[in-house]
Amino acid sequence: MSEAANPNAGFTEVGDRHRFDEAALADWMARTIPDFAGPLDVHQFKGGQSNPTYRLSTPGRNYVLRRKPPGQLAEGAHAIEREARILNALGTVDFPVPHVHGLCEDPSVIGTSFYVMDLVEGRIFWDATLPDIAAEDRPAYFAAMAETLARLHQIDYRAIGLEDYGRPDGYVARQVKRWTRQYQADIPEAGPETNLEALIAWLPEHMPTESAPSIVHGDFRIDNMIFHPTEPRIVAVLDWELSTIGEPIADFAYNMMMYRIPPTMLTGLVGADLKALHLPSEADYVDIYRARRALDAVPDLDFYVAFNLFRLAAIFHGIKARIARGTASSAHARDMIATLPIISEIALQQARQARP
């Protein structure tokens, strides 16, 4: 899907629900960012299902603002403070993330907590078949994805001050419990989902042995990164809301599951002629990641794909509940939740494939 065809691409005028005092923001930026100079022009990015995101334009420089949404919020959700923290930490080891200029936890400024970071120029691809890239160049873009994620998983999180960013053991079990609780909390507004109920019963009984913990992104897919304007190189990884310390193979499986989902779900590749498109096969893609991390194998991928699809289905179920509460932050949230039954069905298929 091209940027022009993707409903989440680009930006628009700020919607009524997400407007704020722009003069108060400009005052805060003038106090916080040494080289800030107005006037300030604010637009809202069309994407950002959880945390509303804005383009801040000035004559000399452009920025991005991420904020908590207004209204009733689920406990522990929309933790933009964690996003700002991990972006700052990763910046110290030159991992490709935007520079954060400041975090504001005072709701009196624009109504909710927020942070401001650099706007990184480059390309965002909404279609994993990369139709706008020459066929012979496409493998290098896939290699950049796998290698960047492998690099993330090799960072010593303790050395960059993230030793308390998450509990290193039992990540998948905790995630299953967390999203089970979240799903159950959303049932009164969003209703039950039969396939999710089945996965909630299956997943705890089939947990694989954990590998060494690392930083995990939690939502590492091609449209959550910015590529260099002309090169197959990632210049910024975005959307760190689900990041923590946990199981790196689970994090890789989330990225790799594009090979197992249709294009109607996020950036799926099922049905694409990979050979004709000159894209790496799933096995070749796994091998790029494995080699970059010097692993003998990448185990339990079927289980971890099932787990990630369960988590994704629970998130979409939560979006369904936010629509009912009136706090969904994207006009296209209804399109996303239409895929919920498909996601949960594919998750069950992966579970059966992992361990009958």
Same-domain status, 64 and 165 = no
pLDDT at 301: 95
Same-domain status, 104 and 169 = no
Same-domain status, 219 and 265 = yes
Secondary structure of residue 10 in the 3-state scheme:
coil
Same-domain status, 84 and 150 = no
- Is residue 4, in this structure, part of any structural domain at all? no
Cα distance between residue 224 and residue 227, in whole Å: 10
Same-domain status, 17 and 152 = no
The total number of structural domains in the chain stands at 2
- Is residue 125, in this structure, part of any structural domain at all? no
Strand partners, 75: none
- Is residue 98, in this structure, part of any structural domain at all? yes
- Is residue 1, in this structure, part of any structural domain at all? no
Amino acid at 303: F
Same-domain status, 154 and 109 = no
Secondary structure of residue 98 in the 3-state scheme:
coil
Q: Which of 118, 152, 183 is the last residue of a domain?
A: 118
- Is residue 248, in this structure, part of any structural domain at all? yes
Cα distance between residue 79 and residue 161, in whole Å: 18
Angle at which helices 171-190 and 301-325 pack, to 10 degrees?
Answer: 30
Q: What is the DSSP string of 296-336?
A: S----HHHHHHHHHHHHHHHHHHHHHHHHHT----TTHHHH
pLDDT at 27: 96
What is the domain extent for residue 98? 11-118
Q: Which residues of 93-124 are buried (b: 16+ CB within 10 A; e: fewer)?
A: eebbbbebbebbeeeebbbbbbbbbebbebbb
pLDDT at 14: 80
pLDDT at 68: 87
Same-domain status, 170 and 247 = yes
Per-position pLDDT tens, the chain of length 356: 444 445 456 777 887 778 899 999 999 999 999 999 989 999 998 765 578 899 999 999 999 999 987 755 555 556 899 999 999 999 999 999 999 999 999 999 999 999 999 999 999 999 999 999 999 999 999 999 999 999 999 999 999 999 999 998 999 999 999 999 999 999 988 888 889 999 999 999 999 999 999 999 999 999 999 999 999 999 999 999 999 999 999 999 999 999 999 988 778 999 999 999 999 999 999 999 999 999 999 999 999 999 999 998 998 898 888 888 876 656 567 777 788 888 889 999 899 888 65
pTM: 0.89
Q: Which of 118, 151, 170 is the last residue of a domain?
A: 118
Cα distance between residue 244 and residue 161, in whole Å: 13
Cα distance between residue 190 and residue 193, in whole Å: 9
- Is residue 254, in this structure, part of any structural domain at all? yes
**What percentage of the chain's residues is helix, strand, coil (to nearest 5)?**
45, 10, 45
- Is residue 164, in this structure, part of any structural domain at all? yes
> CB-based contacts of 245: which residues, under 8 Å, 6+ apart?
157, 162, 165, 166, 167, 168, 171, 213, 214, 215, 216
pLDDT at 321: 87
pLDDT at 319: 87
> CB-based contacts of 78: which residues, under 8 Å, 6+ apart?
50, 51, 68, 69, 241
pLDDT at 190: 86
Cα distance between residue 256 and residue 157, in whole Å: 23
Same-domain status, 38 and 100 = yes
pLDDT at 124: 95
pLDDT at 3: 45
Same-domain status, 165 and 96 = no
- Is residue 128, in this structure, part of any structural domain at all? no
Q: Which of 118, 144, 161 is the last residue of a domain?
A: 118
Q: What is the DSSP string of 35-93?
A: T-----EEEEES--SSS-EEEEE-SS-EEEEEEPPSS---TT-S-HHHHHHHHHHHHTT
Same-domain status, 90 and 191 = no
Same-domain status, 179 and 265 = yes
Kindly list the distances between the CA atom of residue 314 and the CA atoms of 91, 164, 184, 345, 347, in Å, as whole numbers in the listed order: 31, 26, 9, 13, 11
Same-domain status, 160 and 260 = yes
CATH number at residue 17: 3.30.200.20
CATH number at residue 160: 3.90.1200.10
Q: Please state, for a pLDDT cut of 90, what percent of the chain lies above it.
A: 72
